[in-house]
Amino acid sequence: MSNIVAVMGSPNSEGNTASIVDAVLNGAMGLSTNIIKYHNISKMTFIHGCRHCHHCVYTGDCDVEDDLSPTLKDIGKADVLVFATPVYFNMPTAQFKLVLDRMYSFLSVDRKSSSLAGKYAVIIVACSEYNDRTKSMVENLTDAIKDFGIIVTDKLVYSDMNGTEIFKTNTNAIKRSYEVGKKFCKMSEIKVTEEINYLNQE
């Protein structure tokens, strides 16, 4: 049994990003006894960014109490993390960046280690088109997640080809996302995929 926590940073709860998350979580559930928690940042109404107060440096806990606090607690307890965001101006959404900034509280005083070290993560990115800037954004996001000592097993990227190919209608992309989720039904067999998995490319 594993605790799987999904953090969804898209303001569109019915869009491509959310649909990919659903497919991955469906695979992770399967016939397993995994516990899955889903945090949709866009549905939170009382949320703050990092205040850089350094309270967490000395206590290990974020001093900000808001709707994001339970998400951070679940991230700390997770075995597997699913981080998902669409691309906005070649970057993650503001909602997702809030989470990433607040994760500062998991770092050690010297910022050379983290209480999240050894956890697994899947990174999901939805975009309008594949290009070098999208690839760069995914790689930068991956590096940021790895800074916490998290093991990134998969990087899933889906392009809707400027709105002409919605994820929900792409059976092959759904299957590929589901298969990534299935990895976490048998934690002892997890393998790390270094390359970006472009879901609607062969």
Dihedral (C-alpha) 57, 79, 71, 35: value to the nearest 10 degrees? -160
Structure tokens that stand for 158 in this block: 């889906």
- 3-198: which CATH topology? Rossmann fold (3.40.50)
Supply 29's token pair: 């559930």
* Residues 7/99, Cβ–Cβ less than 8 Å: yes
pLDDT at 39 over 90: yes
Q: Given a cut of 80, is residue 31 above it in pLDDT?
A: no
Q: 80-126 pLDDT, tens per residue?
A: 999 999 999 999 999 999 999 999 999 887 777 899 999 999 999 99
Write the CA distances from 14 to 40, 131, 189, 200, integer angstroms. Answer: 11, 24, 32, 19
Measuring CA to CA, which residue among 196, 19, 5, 194 is closest to residue 83? Answer: 5
- 4 forms beta bridges with 36, 80
Here the tokens at position 87 are: 């691309």
Average pLDDT, the chain: 92
User: pLDDT of 52-85, one tens digit each?
Assistant: 888 888 888 888 898 999 999 999 999 999 999 9
The residue with tokens 């607040």 is 102
Q: Where are the domains of the chain?
A: 3-198
Q: By the 8 A CB rule, do 85 and 18 touch?
A: no
Q: Is pTM beyond 0.85 here?
A: yes
Chain-centroid distance of CA 36 in Å reads 13
